[in-house]
Homo-oligomer: A and B are copies of this chain.
Amino acid sequence: MTSRQEKAIETKERILRTALDLFSEKGFDGVSVDEIVRKSETSKGAFYGHFTSKYDIFLEKFKEIDQFYSDFQESLPDSLSAEQKIRKLAIAQMEYLRDEMGRDGIRSLYAYALTPSVDNYLSDTERPLYAILEQLVADGQQKGELTSSASSSQLALLLSRSMRGTLYDWAIFDGDFNLADEIDGWLALLFSGIRN
């Protein structure tokens, strides 16, 4: 590690810290890259040398949620049914996102994911969330609790899409919208079906 490399890392970290501070203070859209480099006493050159975009820096924080998923999954008692586990996970996820990211954060992330030709985080099926959901589903199918009319990966995708759909709606609907209640009501219907 040469002194130049050390300095570069320090620069990168200063930019990251400054940016995240500003984001949580003024929201993602309320902060410009110019402001970040001014406050961190660096430059556009430094910024784009270390990060590929303003959103990229935002993702850094977002990836913390993967740790949350893993921790949460491990905390689930074995005694619960697959359905209970899935519903608890979904509710915990919603509460986490609401509290840690806020509506603005979700809005920004979901808008960014729509940028063409971007390796986006949401559609990455390698995310821990997918693996966890698929595991829970597979266990449930194994025990005969869940339908086998679709594969575990299909059902995991269905569940993750349910979560995305709910979060997307949360972002676009202005009125009252309780994320946790919403996903719980959704899953209740999804598990039992809406046919009579």
Contact = CB atoms under 8 A, between A and B. Distances in A.
A146 B191 contact: no
Chain A interface helix/strand/loop/mixed: helix
Contacts of A168: 110, 164-165, 168
Select the residue from A107, A148, A191, A196 with max chain B CB neighbours within 10 A: A196
A3 to B, nearest CB: 42
**Copies of this chain:** 2
Nearest to A115: B111
Interface of A: 29, 83, 104, 107, 110-111, 113-116, 120, 122-123, 144-150, 154-155, 158, 161-162, 164-166, 168-169, 171-174, 185-186, 188-196
A193 B191 contact: yes
A147 to B, nearest CB: 5
Contacts of A111: 111, 114-115
A193 B193 contact: yes
A174 B123 contact: yes
